[in-house]
A and B are shown apart, each in its own frame.
Chain A
């Protein structure tokens, strides 16, 4: 692998919660560099800080300490509005619980990020159909989420994450609510996105799912205790 461009560079990142008089260190000094076109699996026991890391990378949360560089720019303490702008335009997020809006159609769910990114796309529908095609869901654009199976919902959620053409997709246990057949389909989809040039970071509890990734990060107590960076499997 060539020396790929750095998307993220984290050093000494902390995220500390105060609960009463106790301090919980959800992230306790994380050093991590994410390169373009990587496929990273984040594993670790429950409560080890995987989701917190993803939220931090996804600009949904800000670190309470450390330095975070995104595309060459220090983003350790940017404003809420700026974080919203980055969420809307630079990063796609996929959740375990899909998090589609139940009252909107598949089409409206997928185009919603275009509204918030203020992306001046002429034909939003065509753009959304293209994203739906990438996940194989274009035939369901007029349905509502509750008319879809779990696997289908997750594919729609991935289309929504793709609509603004982000470089990086973050997924927090995307297959956690799916059976093994659908799990395989989603992971195949991720692999194809990788081929299209998208960088992926996926949290998983499932060793089988982790097998898809070239790089694995293991977390424990808010720290990275193992990182296969450089010496990828397969």
Chain B
């Protein structure tokens, strides 16, 4: 026995058989072709989406970021809630001083929609007051200039870091808008920095589009000019390592409980939930895609089995002749099995080529197409391996039927 010779022989004979029955072979392959093409194309598209989703999650500090937001004191403390000063700028200082685990800390003072005026032209844009650490948490890239500094915070300087959108609205002609002046609520702000445009497409939308609209001034400036107090809307804290998170959360809670005089009028939020959501989405995509792929490839396998069974009954006499001149059952089994495998392998290969075509089309027609991988190697590997296995499995029964035929009965068959 010589298995390698048998495989080579089986493959060449299988190819010859496929070639002599081109149309029939193509029809029997169609299920596998469609199955593999659809599987690989869908995985390619979904993987692109998921990659961008992850990217935008990471770009906002990822799992390492904590948010502290004000909330109503619990029922039991409601009657004494007034003793808490609320969430204030002092909390920022307390956290920075007391908690080394907090790598970066920023306040957020939200002004929402403001009217920006430059040389008589007016545009509405989002404005927010933050601390210097903001840029480290959000890993924003500056195209020009610098971000808000500690000195700006101390001096409550009238300086602004502008978004790509505001730059486009007012300073189209200048590449570098640093040094330009913008009037907001009768106060002149000097542009000290300008953000680069950011993009991460998820489901046809730029998930970072808000960040391209946000303009930032020092938190202290925002409080002094607009709020008239020292209240902040939100505190964001970033840990160095995931392992630090439990301790960090506890320390923040303790520190704020102290500054708030024991009143639990704040809430610490982690990104765990968002991560969980993202994982859920990934899983549901994986399972539904896997299910669709399994079903379509199963249908492909049934198609191959059908054609192989027809081919066996069509060739009963041939099987009889081969057996009469010395073919063993094993030889006949290998002959028909290789035919099924050749069909499924060819179908799989055509399917892979088709999937690359589909993905290239998708890149052009789906709005966030640039993120689509045209050659998702993993999906291609699994799709091909799965289709070959299906072909092998669906070839076994017809091949067994052929191999079991009695030579005399087969020769007598008309």
Chain A interface residue count: which class? Answer: 20 to 34
Q: Is A34 an interface residue (CB 8 A)?
A: no
B321 touches A99 (CB 8 A): yes
| Chain A nearest Cβ from B352, distance in angstroms | 30
Beta-carbon contacts under 8 Å, B299-349 to A: 317-318, 320-331
| Chain A nearest Cβ from B295, distance in angstroms | 36
Chain B interface residue count: which class? Answer: 20 to 34
Q: Which residue of A lies closest to B328 (CB)?
A: A84
For the complex, what is the distance from the CA of A89 to the CA of B318, rounded to whole Å?
19
A101 touches B326 (CB 8 A): no
* A60-B326 contact in complex given A55-B408, A95-B411, A116-B331, C-beta closer than 8 Å: no
Q: Is B9 an interface residue (CB 8 A)?
A: yes
| Chain B nearest Cβ from A44, distance in angstroms | 19
**Which of chain A's residues have a CB closer than 8 A to the CB of B323?**
60, 84, 87
| Chain B nearest Cβ from A135, distance in angstroms | 16
**Which of chain B's residues have a CB closer than 8 A to the CB of A177?**
none
Instruction: Pick from A55, A80, A113: contact of B325, CB below 8 A.
Output: A113
For the complex, what is the distance from the CA of A117 to the CA of B326, rounded to whole Å?
7
B321 touches A113 (CB 8 A): no
Q: Which residue of A lies closest to B407 (CB)?
A: A60
**Which of chain B's residues have a CB closer than 8 A to the CB of A99?**
317, 320-321, 324, 411
**Which of chain A's residues have a CB closer than 8 A to the CB of B328?**
80-81, 84-85, 116
| Chain A nearest Cβ from B392, distance in angstroms | 23
Q: Is B151 an interface residue (CB 8 A)?
A: no
Q: Which residue of A lies closest to B17 (CB)?
A: A103
| Chain B nearest Cβ from A159, distance in angstroms | 12
* A116-B329 contact in complex given A95-B411, A103-B20, C-beta closer than 8 Å: no
B325 touches A61 (CB 8 A): no
Pair count A-B, CB < 8 A: 56
Q: Which residue of A lies closest to B326 (CB)?
A: A88
* A81-B329 contact in complex given A99-B411, A115-B9, C-beta closer than 8 Å: yes
B interface footprint on A72-84 (CB within 8 Å = 1, 0 otherwise): 0000000011001
For the complex, what is the distance from the CA of A223 to the CA of B363, rounded to whole Å?
80
For the complex, what is the distance from the CA of A112 to the CA of B411, rounded to whole Å?
17
B325 touches A60 (CB 8 A): no
Instruction: Pick from A93, A101, A118: contact of B318, CB below 8 A.
Output: A101
For the complex, what is the distance from the CA of A89 to the CA of B325, rounded to whole Å?
9
Q: Is A160 an interface residue (CB 8 A)?
A: yes
| Chain A nearest Cβ from B31, distance in angstroms | 26
**Which of chain A's residues have a CB closer than 8 A to the CB of B322?**
101, 112, 116
B interface footprint on A50-64 (CB within 8 Å = 1, 0 otherwise): 000001001011000
**Which of chain A's residues have a CB closer than 8 A to the CB of B318?**
101
Beta-carbon contacts under 8 Å, A137-164 to B: 160, 164
**Which of chain A's residues have a CB closer than 8 A to the CB of B411?**
95, 99
A84 touches B321 (CB 8 A): no
**Which of chain A's residues have a CB closer than 8 A to the CB of B329?**
80-81, 84
B330 touches A61 (CB 8 A): no
B interface footprint on A111-131 (CB within 8 Å = 1, 0 otherwise): 011011110000000000000
| Chain A nearest Cβ from B213, distance in angstroms | 71
| Chain A nearest Cβ from B335, distance in angstroms | 10
Central interface residue in A85, A100, A116, by most chain B CB within 10 Å: A116
B325 touches A93 (CB 8 A): yes
**Which of chain B's residues have a CB closer than 8 A to the CB of A116?**
322, 325-328, 331
For the complex, what is the distance from the CA of A164 to the CA of B325, rounded to whole Å?
10
Q: Which residue of A lies closest to B317 (CB)?
A: A99
**Which of chain A's residues have a CB closer than 8 A to the CB of B331?**
116
For the complex, what is the distance from the CA of A78 to the CA of B42, rounded to whole Å?
56
**Which of chain B's residues have a CB closer than 8 A to the CB of A58?**
324
| Chain B nearest Cβ from A27, distance in angstroms | 13
**Which of chain A's residues have a CB closer than 8 A to the CB of B20?**
103
A93 touches B324 (CB 8 A): yes
Central interface residue in B320, B326, B331, B411, by most chain A CB within 10 Å: B326
* A160-B408 contact in complex given A81-B330, A116-B331, C-beta closer than 8 Å: no
Q: Which residue of B lies closest to A90 (CB)?
A: B326
B408 touches A101 (CB 8 A): no
| Chain A nearest Cβ from B36, distance in angstroms | 30
Instruction: Pick from B9, B321, B326, B327: contact of A89, CB below 8 A.
Output: B326
Could you name 28 residue pairs across A and B whose Cβ atoms are closer than 8 Å? A55-B408, A58-B324, A60-B323, A60-B324, A60-B407, A60-B408, A80-B328, A81-B330, A84-B323, A84-B326, A87-B323, A87-B325, A88-B325, A88-B326, A88-B327, A95-B411, A99-B317, A99-B411, A101-B318, A101-B321, A101-B322, A112-B322, A113-B325, A113-B326, A115-B9, A116-B326, A116-B327, A116-B331
Residues of B at the A interface (CB closer than 8 Å) are 2, 9, 20, 317-318, 320-331, 407-408, 411
The 4 closest A-B pairs by CB, nearest first: A88-B326, A116-B326, A84-B328, A87-B326
Known: A100-B321, A118-B2; 20 extra A-B contacts, CB below 8 A, are: A61-B408, A80-B328, A81-B328, A81-B329, A84-B326, A84-B327, A84-B328, A87-B324, A88-B326, A88-B327, A89-B326, A95-B411, A99-B324, A99-B411, A101-B318, A116-B322, A116-B325, A116-B327, A116-B328, A117-B326
